[in-house]
Structure formats: C-alpha cells, structure tokens
Structure 1
C-alpha cells in the first residue's frame, strides 16, 4: 500500500506554511522599511532645509559690517580734537592699529614743528589713551615691555582729558628739545 501526502491542506504542508509565513513577514518588513524610508526622506529633507538655512545665516553673519573702533569711535573724537587744537597739524588720515595691544598712535606738530602724540587702545567697548606714565609689571626688554604693556592707560572720558594730555606732551617735548640741543 502506497502512502499519499495530502497537499491540499496548507496547514499540514510545512513548505506551504513556511512560504506563507515568509511572504507575510517579508510584506511587513517591506511595509516597515517603506515607512522608515519615508521618515528618513523627511528627515533628510529637514536636514537639507536646515543646512541651507545655516548656510544662509552664516552668509548673513559673514556679511555683517562690524563697526571699526578707529573709524566710528576714535575718528570723530580726533576730528573734534583737531578742531579744538587749530595750532596743531594732526596726521590721522590713516588710523593704523598694530602690536599685541592693538594700539593706534596719532601724531601732530605745532607751528614750531614740536611733535605731540597720543596712543589709543580699545578694550571691551572702552577707548583708552596712554598717559605717558609707566609701571613695572613686566621686566625691561621683554616682549610685554616692548609691546607697551608697561604703559599706564586711562579711559577716555571726555575731550578735555585729551586736550590737557596733548598740551602736557607738547610742553614736555619743548622742555626736552630746549635742554638737549
């Protein structure tokens, strides 16, 4: 007697059963993958949008024109100083900043060709001028000393302070010239 296998009942046939389970699992995975791909695409779209937005903001930040302390803060003060000292010919056409202290020296000469000057620095939105005094925080001939870090600076509070300073510098320079022929 020959045995026959009943292929009509899928519940009893392991091949058909596993095939059906595999197809169902594959369909679920494809469905999940499609949903995940959709979320990835949406996230990539957001990333792309944010990347363009960041680039646009960086370009905007780069194009900002930060105010120059020498042009917008110091220059008008110097213009007024020049008007208040008509006896001095000032040379501040180009305001150059240099050195470790980012100093900006300004010079002028009176009718006798006596030189005067002021050295300005700028820190935390405050304009300073070197008073002509020295401190000894740094040893002589050190990088700090050579770059003016031993100079005493004072905040520029009013134009009168600068006028007094300029006159004192002129007098000291005249005295120096008269004692050293």
Structure 2
C-alpha cells in the first residue's frame, strides 16, 4: 500500500488511516470508540456528498481528478483505489435492503444521462469459497485467476511463494513481498 501519510485529509485523516491499518492505537477504550464514531460519521457524510458531486462537479473537474491526477499515479495505486471504492460500495449496499445490481444500473444510467444516453446494465455474481487446492488446480489447468484469488494464494501459508511464482513467471523467479497486483497485472 502506498504511503498515505503524505496525502491531505480526505474522508480519513492521517491518524484515521494509521488506526485502520493497525499502525496506531488509542490510550483508552473510549478514545477508540470516539475515533470509530468520527470515522463512521465522516463516511456517511461523504456518501451523502456524492449526490452533490454528481450534480455539481463540472466535467473539467472530473477530468482533472480522473484523467489527470489519478492517471498520473502509479498504475496499481490508481487501479486499487477504484477497485477498493467499488468493493466498499458493494459491501455497504449488501448491508442495506437495496440490491447492488439495481444500485449499479441506476448509477451507470445517472452518469450516462449527463451525455444524453441510457445504458443496459447487467451483473452476474457467482460466489465460491476461496480454497488453495481449488485455486492451484485452476492454475495447473491453465485457467486464469482474479487478482483477489491470486492475493489469497500469495497470503496463504499452504503454498510457497516460489511455487506460486512458477505459475506467473516463465523464469520461475521469486515473488517478493511487494504488492501482488503489480506482479500479475495481466491476469
């Protein structure tokens, strides 16, 4: 994960980031509760602000955020930021009485309406448990894995990193302790 302590405050302060990463502890249970309550409130406030951003942020500002600033970041940092945003929303919507596919469809159509278009959106989610034997079997059969599946294998103690590297590197080099996504961007 890139060093986020150099970034300005977004939804999270630098202290919040350090706490959520496990790099900071609080001196009392009450201080920790207060910090978590502040994080929850700012997260809710940020979610509610997105309607204002969609309605009021001009295209040139969107271009500056996404096409310029985000695109100038390291490829994995930009990719991970966007994937994590979708993952956060997916997990959050799952905790409501709303259907993620409906939210996704309406969100895409709200965005397309800005260009006088509509879209047909469908989402097919098939769940399966992450299992080392199943995933290594897929690799042995020449099937590709998602980044999440690769990261699961990478973090597993059941498969050695040099063994895992043989599936992704013709030279059978070792995977270092760096970010898995940067090693397997073509999967």
TM-score range, shorter chain: under 0.3
What TM-score, normalized to structure 2?
Answer: 0.18
Higher strand proportion (structure 1 or 2): 1
Which is helix-richer, 1 or 2? 2
Which has more radius of gyration? 1
